[in-house]
Copies of this chain bind each other. A is one copy, B any other.
Amino acid sequence: MTGSNALIADKLKFNENGLIPAIAQQHDSGEVLMMAWMNRDAVLETLETGRVCYFSRSRGKLWRKGESSGQVQKLVDFRYDCDMDTILVEVDQIGVACHTGRRNCFYFAARDGKEVVISEPEVSAEELYGKK
């Protein structure tokens, strides 16, 4: 299978830093969980393992989602867009996607010119990262 996943990776357009944005959506509820970046290795690892892997720009290395928190994303479907420069991964998110303990990262809303927090953490950072 490696060969053909490599052909998929060859089609994708990575930016000047070798990265492509990847949106994660909970496959059944439609909730948009987060957006992060993948490099070619992350794309291949995601396709080959069925567990979503990103590239951490701050740490400069592969970021196997859930590696330290246990909040893994199981791949349900790997999609990409008309321009082949954005990925949409349909996932089954175990636990929460956001490092703040919220189910998804998009918890700020701009309403009437004000910032509103529209969801609260379901677990604490301590629970997520306290015990490795």
Contact = CB atoms under 8 A, between A and B. Distances in A.
B78 A110 contact: yes
Q: Is the interface of A mostly helix, strand, loop or mixed?
A: mixed
Copies held by the complex: 2
A86 B104 CA distance: 12
Nearest to A109: B79
B113 A4 contact: yes
A32 interface: yes
A34 interface: yes
Interface of A: 1, 3-5, 7-8, 11, 21, 23, 25, 29-32, 34-35, 47, 77-84, 86, 88, 98-100, 102, 105-115, 118
Contact of A108 (B21, B81, B102, B114): B81
A15 to B, nearest CB: 10
A99 B5 CA distance: 27
A46 to B, nearest CB: 9
